[in-house]
Amino acid sequence: MANPAGLPADGVLDLLGLLAYASLTAFFRISDDAALAISLTDKTALAELAVAEFGHFQLLKGRIEELSADPTTVMQPFVAAIDAFHARTAPSDWLEGLVKAYVGDGIAADFYRAVAQVLDPATQGLVQTVLADTGKTEFVVARVREATEADPRLAGRLALWARRLVGEALGQAQRVAADREPLARLLVGGTSSQLGDIGRMFAQLTDAHAARMAALGLAN
Amino acid sequence: MANPAGLPADGVLDLLGLLAYASLTAFFRISDDAALAISLTDKTALAELAVAEFGHFQLLKGRIEELSADPTTVMQPFVAAIDAFHARTAPSDWLEGLVKAYVGDGIAADFYRAVAQVLDPATQGLVQTVLADTGKTEFVVARVREATEADPRLAGRLALWARRLVGEALGQAQRVAADREPLARLLVGGTSSQLGDIGRMFAQLTDAHAARMAALGLAN
Protein backbone atom coordinates (compact mmCIF):
# COMPACT_ATOMS: atom_id res chain seq x y z
CA MET A 1 0.00 0.00 0.00
CA ALA A 2 1.44 3.40 -0.86
CA ASN A 3 2.14 5.63 2.07
CA PRO A 4 0.24 8.94 2.16
CA ALA A 5 2.89 10.91 0.28
CA GLY A 6 2.71 8.46 -2.61
CA LEU A 7 6.28 7.41 -1.89
CA PRO A 8 7.28 3.77 -2.25
CA ALA A 9 6.43 1.62 0.73
CA ASP A 10 8.98 -0.55 2.41
CA GLY A 11 9.55 -3.60 0.29
CA VAL A 12 9.07 -1.83 -3.06
CA LEU A 13 12.81 -1.76 -3.75
CA ASP A 14 12.89 -5.48 -2.98
CA LEU A 15 10.04 -6.01 -5.41
CA LEU A 16 11.77 -3.98 -8.13
CA GLY A 17 15.02 -5.88 -7.55
CA LEU A 18 13.21 -9.21 -7.76
CA LEU A 19 11.38 -8.27 -10.96
CA ALA A 20 14.49 -6.71 -12.53
CA TYR A 21 16.66 -9.76 -11.94
CA ALA A 22 13.87 -12.09 -13.03
CA SER A 23 13.51 -10.12 -16.31
CA LEU A 24 17.25 -10.01 -16.97
CA THR A 25 17.54 -13.74 -16.36
CA ALA A 26 14.48 -14.44 -18.50
CA PHE A 27 16.20 -12.54 -21.31
CA PHE A 28 19.26 -14.79 -21.12
CA ARG A 29 17.35 -18.04 -20.63
CA ILE A 30 14.84 -17.39 -23.43
CA SER A 31 17.64 -16.38 -25.83
CA ASP A 32 19.39 -19.64 -24.97
CA ASP A 33 16.24 -21.68 -25.42
CA ALA A 34 15.51 -19.99 -28.75
CA ALA A 35 18.70 -21.59 -30.04
CA LEU A 36 16.87 -24.94 -29.76
CA ALA A 37 14.29 -23.87 -32.37
CA ILE A 38 14.59 -25.56 -35.75
CA SER A 39 12.86 -22.96 -37.91
CA LEU A 40 14.00 -19.37 -38.17
CA THR A 41 10.40 -18.23 -37.64
CA ASP A 42 10.21 -19.95 -34.25
CA LYS A 43 13.68 -18.79 -33.34
CA THR A 44 12.69 -15.21 -34.11
CA ALA A 45 9.43 -15.44 -32.18
CA LEU A 46 11.24 -16.59 -29.05
CA ALA A 47 14.02 -14.04 -29.55
CA GLU A 48 11.32 -11.32 -29.61
CA LEU A 49 10.10 -12.53 -26.23
CA ALA A 50 13.65 -12.42 -24.89
CA VAL A 51 14.09 -8.86 -26.14
CA ALA A 52 10.77 -7.84 -24.49
CA GLU A 53 12.09 -9.21 -21.19
CA PHE A 54 15.21 -7.09 -21.58
CA GLY A 55 12.98 -4.05 -22.15
CA HIS A 56 11.20 -4.82 -18.86
CA PHE A 57 14.56 -5.12 -17.15
CA GLN A 58 15.59 -1.69 -18.43
CA LEU A 59 12.35 -0.09 -17.19
CA LEU A 60 12.71 -1.69 -13.76
CA LYS A 61 16.38 -0.76 -13.53
CA GLY A 62 15.48 2.83 -14.46
CA ARG A 63 12.93 2.99 -11.64
CA ILE A 64 15.46 1.58 -9.14
CA GLU A 65 17.91 4.30 -10.19
CA GLU A 66 15.18 6.96 -9.84
CA LEU A 67 14.82 5.83 -6.25
CA SER A 68 18.58 6.51 -5.86
CA ALA A 69 19.39 2.86 -5.35
CA ASP A 70 22.00 0.70 -7.04
CA PRO A 71 20.38 -1.95 -9.29
CA THR A 72 23.06 -4.57 -8.67
CA THR A 73 22.69 -4.24 -4.89
CA VAL A 74 18.91 -4.30 -5.06
CA MET A 75 18.86 -7.39 -7.29
CA GLN A 76 21.47 -9.29 -5.26
CA PRO A 77 19.11 -10.84 -2.63
CA PHE A 78 17.17 -12.60 -5.42
CA VAL A 79 20.05 -13.94 -7.50
CA ALA A 80 20.31 -17.27 -5.65
CA ALA A 81 16.59 -18.13 -5.82
CA ILE A 82 16.15 -17.13 -9.47
CA ASP A 83 19.36 -18.84 -10.60
CA ALA A 84 18.33 -21.98 -8.69
CA PHE A 85 14.95 -21.95 -10.41
CA HIS A 86 16.56 -21.84 -13.86
CA ALA A 87 19.24 -24.40 -12.98
CA ARG A 88 16.46 -26.83 -12.00
CA THR A 89 14.32 -26.11 -15.06
CA ALA A 90 16.65 -26.17 -18.05
CA PRO A 91 14.45 -27.31 -20.98
CA SER A 92 15.68 -30.49 -22.63
CA ASP A 93 14.13 -29.60 -25.98
CA TRP A 94 12.40 -26.90 -27.96
CA LEU A 95 8.87 -27.76 -26.78
CA GLU A 96 9.89 -27.67 -23.14
CA GLY A 97 11.47 -24.27 -23.82
CA LEU A 98 8.24 -23.03 -25.41
CA VAL A 99 6.11 -24.26 -22.52
CA LYS A 100 8.50 -22.65 -20.05
CA ALA A 101 8.28 -19.31 -21.86
CA TYR A 102 4.47 -19.51 -21.93
CA VAL A 103 4.07 -20.58 -18.31
CA GLY A 104 6.67 -18.08 -17.11
CA ASP A 105 5.15 -15.18 -19.04
CA GLY A 106 1.67 -16.05 -17.74
CA ILE A 107 2.70 -16.33 -14.11
CA ALA A 108 4.72 -13.12 -14.39
CA ALA A 109 1.68 -11.27 -15.80
CA ASP A 110 -0.58 -12.58 -12.99
CA PHE A 111 1.99 -11.57 -10.44
CA TYR A 112 2.33 -8.07 -11.90
CA ARG A 113 -1.47 -7.69 -11.84
CA ALA A 114 -1.62 -8.89 -8.23
CA VAL A 115 1.11 -6.57 -6.95
CA ALA A 116 -0.03 -3.51 -8.93
CA GLN A 117 -2.79 -2.88 -6.37
CA VAL A 118 -0.40 -2.43 -3.45
CA LEU A 119 2.04 -0.02 -5.11
CA ASP A 120 2.67 3.72 -5.09
CA PRO A 121 1.46 5.47 -8.30
CA ALA A 122 4.87 5.71 -10.02
CA THR A 123 5.74 2.05 -9.47
CA GLN A 124 2.18 1.09 -10.38
CA GLY A 125 2.50 2.94 -13.69
CA LEU A 126 5.70 1.08 -14.42
CA VAL A 127 4.09 -2.26 -13.62
CA GLN A 128 1.17 -1.43 -15.95
CA THR A 129 3.62 -0.61 -18.75
CA VAL A 130 5.41 -3.92 -18.32
CA LEU A 131 2.09 -5.73 -18.10
CA ALA A 132 0.88 -4.22 -21.38
CA ASP A 133 3.96 -5.74 -22.98
CA THR A 134 3.33 -9.32 -21.81
CA GLY A 135 1.08 -11.87 -23.50
CA LYS A 136 3.29 -12.21 -26.58
CA THR A 137 3.30 -15.96 -26.10
CA GLU A 138 0.03 -16.79 -27.83
CA PHE A 139 1.96 -18.38 -30.72
CA VAL A 140 3.08 -21.04 -28.24
CA VAL A 141 -0.48 -22.37 -27.90
CA ALA A 142 -0.66 -23.24 -31.60
CA ARG A 143 2.82 -24.78 -31.62
CA VAL A 144 2.22 -26.99 -28.59
CA ARG A 145 -1.20 -28.09 -29.85
CA GLU A 146 0.28 -29.02 -33.25
CA ALA A 147 3.01 -31.05 -31.58
CA THR A 148 0.70 -32.93 -29.18
CA GLU A 149 -1.77 -33.65 -31.97
CA ALA A 150 1.03 -35.15 -34.05
CA ASP A 151 2.32 -37.16 -31.08
CA PRO A 152 -0.25 -37.51 -28.26
CA ARG A 153 2.31 -39.03 -25.85
CA LEU A 154 3.98 -35.62 -25.73
CA ALA A 155 1.00 -34.17 -23.86
CA GLY A 156 1.74 -36.21 -20.73
CA ARG A 157 5.41 -35.31 -20.69
CA LEU A 158 4.74 -31.58 -21.25
CA ALA A 159 1.99 -31.51 -18.59
CA LEU A 160 4.44 -33.03 -16.11
CA TRP A 161 7.06 -30.49 -17.17
CA ALA A 162 4.64 -27.58 -16.63
CA ARG A 163 3.78 -28.91 -13.16
CA ARG A 164 7.49 -29.10 -12.34
CA LEU A 165 7.99 -25.52 -13.52
CA VAL A 166 5.26 -24.22 -11.23
CA GLY A 167 6.43 -26.37 -8.32
CA GLU A 168 9.98 -25.07 -8.63
CA ALA A 169 8.77 -21.47 -9.03
CA LEU A 170 6.58 -21.67 -5.92
CA GLY A 171 9.36 -23.35 -3.95
CA GLN A 172 11.74 -20.49 -4.73
CA ALA A 173 8.98 -17.92 -4.13
CA GLN A 174 8.33 -19.35 -0.64
CA ARG A 175 12.05 -19.08 0.04
CA VAL A 176 12.10 -15.44 -1.06
CA ALA A 177 8.94 -14.61 0.96
CA ALA A 178 10.45 -16.20 4.07
CA ASP A 179 13.76 -14.34 3.64
CA ARG A 180 12.44 -10.91 2.76
CA GLU A 181 9.94 -9.82 5.39
CA PRO A 182 9.18 -6.29 4.02
CA LEU A 183 8.57 -7.69 0.55
CA ALA A 184 6.26 -10.40 1.88
CA ARG A 185 4.36 -7.78 3.88
CA LEU A 186 4.01 -5.56 0.81
CA LEU A 187 2.66 -8.42 -1.28
CA VAL A 188 -0.20 -9.14 1.11
CA GLY A 189 -1.31 -5.50 1.09
CA GLY A 190 0.99 -3.95 3.64
CA THR A 191 -0.90 -5.32 6.62
CA SER A 192 0.76 -8.57 7.53
CA SER A 193 3.08 -11.19 6.17
CA GLN A 194 1.27 -14.27 7.34
CA LEU A 195 2.41 -17.20 5.28
CA GLY A 196 -1.29 -18.03 4.89
CA ASP A 197 -1.85 -14.80 2.96
CA ILE A 198 1.15 -15.45 0.74
CA GLY A 199 -0.25 -18.95 0.28
CA ARG A 200 -3.59 -17.53 -0.90
CA MET A 201 -1.80 -15.31 -3.40
CA PHE A 202 0.08 -18.35 -4.70
CA ALA A 203 -3.21 -20.27 -4.92
CA GLN A 204 -4.61 -17.57 -7.23
CA LEU A 205 -1.51 -17.82 -9.40
CA THR A 206 -1.82 -21.59 -9.66
CA ASP A 207 -5.54 -21.34 -10.57
CA ALA A 208 -4.64 -19.08 -13.48
CA HIS A 209 -1.88 -21.50 -14.39
CA ALA A 210 -4.43 -24.33 -14.62
CA ALA A 211 -6.42 -22.26 -17.12
CA ARG A 212 -3.29 -21.78 -19.23
CA MET A 213 -2.55 -25.50 -19.20
CA ALA A 214 -6.08 -26.11 -20.50
CA ALA A 215 -5.42 -23.59 -23.30
CA LEU A 216 -2.33 -25.56 -24.28
CA GLY A 217 -4.41 -28.74 -24.30
CA LEU A 218 -2.38 -30.16 -21.42
CA ALA A 219 -3.95 -31.83 -18.40
CA ASN A 220 -2.93 -30.00 -15.23
CA MET B 1 24.32 1.01 -57.90
CA ALA B 2 20.59 1.68 -57.88
CA ASN B 3 18.87 1.26 -61.21
CA PRO B 4 17.20 4.37 -62.67
CA ALA B 5 13.78 3.75 -61.07
CA GLY B 6 15.40 3.64 -57.63
CA LEU B 7 14.41 0.00 -57.34
CA PRO B 8 16.75 -2.43 -55.66
CA ALA B 9 19.49 -3.73 -57.92
CA ASP B 10 20.19 -7.39 -58.31
CA GLY B 11 22.01 -8.63 -55.27
CA VAL B 12 20.24 -6.33 -52.81
CA LEU B 13 18.04 -9.14 -51.51
CA ASP B 14 21.19 -11.20 -51.05
CA LEU B 15 22.76 -8.35 -49.13
CA LEU B 16 19.67 -7.94 -46.94
CA GLY B 17 19.57 -11.68 -46.28
CA LEU B 18 23.24 -11.72 -45.35
CA LEU B 19 22.92 -8.74 -43.01
CA ALA B 20 19.67 -10.06 -41.48
CA TYR B 21 21.09 -13.47 -40.69
CA ALA B 22 24.32 -11.93 -39.42
CA SER B 23 22.33 -9.66 -37.06
CA LEU B 24 20.09 -12.47 -35.81
CA THR B 25 23.10 -14.68 -35.16
CA ALA B 26 24.96 -11.82 -33.47
CA PHE B 27 21.97 -11.43 -31.15
CA PHE B 28 22.21 -15.07 -30.07
CA ARG B 29 26.00 -15.20 -29.84
CA ILE B 30 26.34 -11.94 -27.89
CA SER B 31 23.56 -13.00 -25.48
CA ASP B 32 25.44 -16.24 -24.92
CA ASP B 33 28.74 -14.48 -24.43
CA ALA B 34 27.16 -12.01 -21.99
CA ALA B 35 26.53 -14.97 -19.71
CA LEU B 36 30.33 -15.16 -19.23
CA ALA B 37 30.40 -11.71 -17.58
CA ILE B 38 31.00 -11.68 -13.85
CA SER B 39 29.43 -8.33 -12.98
CA LEU B 40 25.81 -7.49 -13.67
CA THR B 41 26.92 -4.17 -15.17
CA ASP B 42 29.04 -5.89 -17.81
CA LYS B 43 26.36 -8.48 -18.42
CA THR B 44 23.81 -5.74 -19.01
CA ALA B 45 26.12 -3.78 -21.31
CA LEU B 46 26.62 -6.81 -23.54
CA ALA B 47 22.93 -7.73 -23.40
CA GLU B 48 22.16 -4.21 -24.68
CA LEU B 49 24.40 -4.86 -27.67
CA ALA B 50 22.62 -8.13 -28.32
CA VAL B 51 19.24 -6.41 -28.21
CA ALA B 52 20.50 -3.73 -30.64
CA GLU B 53 21.49 -6.53 -33.05
CA PHE B 54 17.99 -7.95 -32.82
CA GLY B 55 16.61 -4.50 -33.64
CA HIS B 56 18.78 -4.45 -36.78
CA PHE B 57 17.50 -7.90 -37.67
CA GLN B 58 13.91 -6.71 -37.39
CA LEU B 59 14.56 -3.68 -39.63
CA LEU B 60 16.28 -5.82 -42.25
CA LYS B 61 13.58 -8.48 -42.09
CA GLY B 62 10.95 -5.75 -42.53
CA ARG B 63 12.69 -4.47 -45.66
CA ILE B 64 12.91 -8.02 -47.08
CA GLU B 65 9.17 -8.40 -46.53
CA GLU B 66 8.52 -5.01 -48.18
CA LEU B 67 10.29 -6.40 -51.23
CA SER B 68 7.76 -9.28 -51.14
CA ALA B 69 10.40 -11.84 -50.31
CA ASP B 70 10.45 -14.46 -47.58
CA PRO B 71 13.13 -13.66 -44.96
CA THR B 72 13.93 -17.30 -44.22
CA THR B 73 14.52 -18.06 -47.91
CA VAL B 74 16.59 -14.92 -48.41
CA MET B 75 18.77 -15.64 -45.36
CA GLN B 76 19.27 -19.33 -46.19
CA PRO B 77 22.28 -18.96 -48.56
CA PHE B 78 24.29 -17.32 -45.75
CA VAL B 79 23.47 -19.65 -42.88
CA ALA B 80 26.38 -22.04 -43.50
CA ALA B 81 29.07 -19.33 -43.74
CA ILE B 82 27.86 -17.33 -40.73
CA ASP B 83 27.31 -20.41 -38.57
CA ALA B 84 30.79 -21.66 -39.53
CA PHE B 85 32.31 -18.32 -38.54
CA HIS B 86 30.74 -18.49 -35.07
CA ALA B 87 31.54 -22.18 -34.60
CA ARG B 88 35.21 -21.37 -35.24
CA THR B 89 35.26 -18.28 -33.01
CA ALA B 90 33.52 -19.28 -29.78
CA PRO B 91 35.12 -17.08 -27.08
CA SER B 92 36.76 -19.06 -24.32
CA ASP B 93 36.31 -16.30 -21.76
CA TRP B 94 34.69 -12.96 -21.08
CA LEU B 95 37.52 -10.86 -22.55
CA GLU B 96 37.51 -12.83 -25.79
CA GLY B 97 33.74 -12.29 -25.94
CA LEU B 98 34.20 -8.55 -25.43
CA VAL B 99 36.88 -8.29 -28.12
CA LYS B 100 34.69 -10.30 -30.50
CA ALA B 101 31.74 -7.95 -29.91
CA TYR B 102 33.96 -4.90 -30.46
CA VAL B 103 35.69 -6.22 -33.57
CA GLY B 104 32.43 -7.55 -35.02
CA ASP B 105 30.54 -4.31 -34.40
CA GLY B 106 33.37 -2.29 -35.96
CA ILE B 107 33.67 -4.42 -39.07
CA ALA B 108 29.88 -4.47 -39.48
CA ALA B 109 29.77 -0.65 -39.28
CA ASP B 110 32.57 -0.31 -41.88
CA PHE B 111 30.79 -2.77 -44.13
CA TYR B 112 27.47 -0.90 -43.81
CA ARG B 113 29.23 2.36 -44.65
CA ALA B 114 30.93 0.77 -47.67
CA VAL B 115 27.76 -0.79 -49.11
CA ALA B 116 25.52 2.23 -48.43
CA GLN B 117 26.96 3.98 -51.51
CA VAL B 118 25.82 1.31 -53.94
CA LEU B 119 22.22 0.96 -52.73
CA ASP B 120 18.80 2.20 -53.82
CA PRO B 121 17.47 5.05 -51.61
CA ALA B 122 15.12 2.92 -49.47
CA THR B 123 17.74 0.31 -48.67
CA GLN B 124 20.30 3.05 -48.15
CA GLY B 125 18.00 4.72 -45.60
CA LEU B 126 17.69 1.45 -43.75
CA VAL B 127 21.44 0.93 -43.72
CA GLN B 128 21.94 4.46 -42.34
CA THR B 129 19.43 3.73 -39.56
CA VAL B 130 21.26 0.56 -38.60
CA LEU B 131 24.59 2.37 -38.81
CA ALA B 132 23.42 5.12 -36.45
CA ASP B 133 22.73 2.38 -33.92
CA THR B 134 26.22 0.83 -34.00
CA GLY B 135 29.23 2.00 -32.02
CA LYS B 136 27.79 1.01 -28.65
CA THR B 137 30.94 -0.93 -27.90
CA GLU B 138 33.10 1.92 -26.62
CA PHE B 139 32.86 0.50 -23.09
CA VAL B 140 34.87 -2.47 -24.36
CA VAL B 141 37.95 -0.29 -24.89
CA ALA B 142 38.13 0.63 -21.20
CA ARG B 143 37.50 -2.96 -20.06
CA VAL B 144 40.17 -4.46 -22.30
CA ARG B 145 42.71 -1.79 -21.38
CA GLU B 146 42.08 -2.37 -17.66
CA ALA B 147 42.55 -6.10 -18.09
CA THR B 148 45.75 -5.86 -20.14
CA GLU B 149 47.22 -3.27 -17.75
CA ALA B 150 46.57 -5.62 -14.84
CA ASP B 151 48.04 -8.57 -16.74
CA PRO B 152 50.20 -7.53 -19.72
CA ARG B 153 50.49 -11.13 -21.02
CA LEU B 154 46.80 -10.92 -21.92
CA ALA B 155 47.55 -8.38 -24.66
CA GLY B 156 49.37 -10.96 -26.79
CA ARG B 157 46.64 -13.55 -26.44
CA LEU B 158 43.86 -11.06 -27.24
CA ALA B 159 45.76 -9.62 -30.23
CA LEU B 160 46.10 -13.15 -31.61
CA TRP B 161 42.40 -13.73 -30.95
CA ALA B 162 41.43 -10.55 -32.82
CA ARG B 163 43.60 -11.59 -35.78
CA ARG B 164 41.89 -14.97 -35.81
CA LEU B 165 38.46 -13.31 -35.77
CA VAL B 166 39.29 -11.18 -38.80
CA GLY B 167 40.91 -14.09 -40.62
CA GLU B 168 37.87 -16.29 -40.10
CA ALA B 169 35.50 -13.47 -41.09
CA LEU B 170 37.41 -12.76 -44.31
CA GLY B 171 37.60 -16.46 -45.12
CA GLN B 172 33.83 -16.81 -44.87
CA ALA B 173 33.32 -13.52 -46.74
CA GLN B 174 35.47 -14.79 -49.65
CA ARG B 175 33.35 -17.92 -49.69
CA VAL B 176 30.14 -15.87 -49.82
CA ALA B 177 31.51 -13.55 -52.53
CA ALA B 178 32.55 -16.53 -54.66
CA ASP B 179 29.15 -18.24 -54.23
CA ARG B 180 26.90 -15.22 -54.75
CA GLU B 181 27.82 -13.51 -57.99
CA PRO B 182 25.10 -10.77 -57.97
CA LEU B 183 25.98 -9.83 -54.39
CA ALA B 184 29.69 -9.65 -55.19
CA ARG B 185 28.91 -7.47 -58.24
CA LEU B 186 26.74 -5.17 -56.13
CA LEU B 187 29.47 -4.74 -53.53
CA VAL B 188 32.01 -3.50 -56.05
CA GLY B 189 29.62 -0.87 -57.37
CA GLY B 190 27.54 -2.82 -59.82
CA THR B 191 30.23 -2.86 -62.48
CA SER B 192 32.16 -6.06 -62.02
CA SER B 193 32.79 -8.76 -59.52
CA GLN B 194 36.50 -9.13 -59.94
CA LEU B 195 37.93 -10.79 -56.91
CA GLY B 196 40.56 -8.06 -56.93
CA ASP B 197 37.88 -5.43 -56.26
CA ILE B 198 36.39 -7.49 -53.45
CA GLY B 199 39.93 -7.86 -52.17
CA ARG B 200 40.38 -4.06 -52.13
CA MET B 201 37.15 -3.69 -50.18
CA PHE B 202 38.42 -6.23 -47.67
CA ALA B 203 41.73 -4.38 -47.45
CA GLN B 204 39.86 -1.21 -46.41
CA LEU B 205 38.02 -3.18 -43.75
CA THR B 206 41.24 -4.62 -42.36
CA ASP B 207 42.89 -1.17 -42.27
CA ALA B 208 40.03 0.10 -40.11
CA HIS B 209 40.37 -3.02 -37.99
CA ALA B 210 44.04 -2.20 -37.34
CA ALA B 211 42.98 1.22 -36.03
CA ARG B 212 40.52 -0.45 -33.65
CA MET B 213 43.19 -2.83 -32.39
CA ALA B 214 45.37 0.18 -31.61
CA ALA B 215 42.47 1.75 -29.66
CA LEU B 216 42.23 -1.43 -27.60
CA GLY B 217 45.96 -1.22 -26.93
CA LEU B 218 46.55 -4.48 -28.81
CA ALA B 219 49.29 -4.95 -31.36
CA ASN B 220 47.80 -5.96 -34.71
Residue B3 lies in a domain: no
CB contact under 8 A, A51 and B47: no
Q: Which region holds residue B190: left if phi is over 0, alpha if psi is between -120 and 50, else beta?
A: left
* pTM reported for the whole predicted model: 0.83
Identify the CATH number of the domain in which residue A191 sits: 1.20.1260.10
pLDDT, residue A28, reads 94
Residue B19 lies in a domain: yes
With cut-offs at 50, 70 and 90, classify the pLDDT of residue A154: very high
Contacts of A55 in chain B (CB under 8 A): 51
pLDDT, residue B35, reads 81
DSSP-derived 3-state class of residue A97: helix
CB atoms closer than 10 angstroms to residue B146: 10
Interface residues of chain A, partner chain B, Cβ below 8 Å = 24, 27-28, 31-32, 34-35, 39-41, 43-44, 47-48, 50-51, 54-55, 57, 61, 71-72, 75
Closest residue on chain A to B34 (Cα): A28
**Domain region containing B74:** 12-216
Among A28-32, A141-145, A187-191, the least confident range:
A187-191
Contact (CB, 8 A) for A142 and A24: no
On the CB side of A120, CA atoms within 13 Å amount to: 18
Indicate the number of domains in chain B: 1
pLDDT, residue B195, reads 53
Residue B1 lies in a domain: no
Q: Which of B213, B114, B115, B214 is nearest to B166 (CA)?
A: B213
CA A207-A48-B126 angle, 5° bins:
155
Mark out the alpha helices in chain A (DSSP H runs): 12-34, 40-66, 71-88, 94-116, 121-132, 138-150, 153-179, 181-187, 195-216
ipTM of predicted assembly, 2 dp = 0.77
pLDDT, residue A193, reads 46
Residue B4 lies in a domain: no
Maximum average pLDDT range among A2-6, A141-145, A190-194:
A141-145
Residue A73 lies in a domain: yes
CB atoms closer than 10 angstroms to residue A153: 8
pLDDT values of chain B reduced to their tens digit, one per residue, 220 residues: 444 455 666 789 999 999 999 999 999 999 998 888 888 888 888 899 999 999 999 999 999 999 999 999 999 999 999 999 999 999 999 999 999 999 888 888 888 887 887 788 888 889 888 888 776 788 888 899 999 999 999 999 999 999 899 889 888 888 888 888 888 888 776 554 455 666 777 777 778 888 888 888 887 6
What is the rounded CA–CA span in Å between residue B205 and residue B99? 16
Positive/negative CA dihedral, B136, B141, B142, B146: positive
Residue B172 lies in a domain: yes
The residue type of A4 is P
Residue A43 lies in a domain: yes
Residue A118 lies in a domain: yes
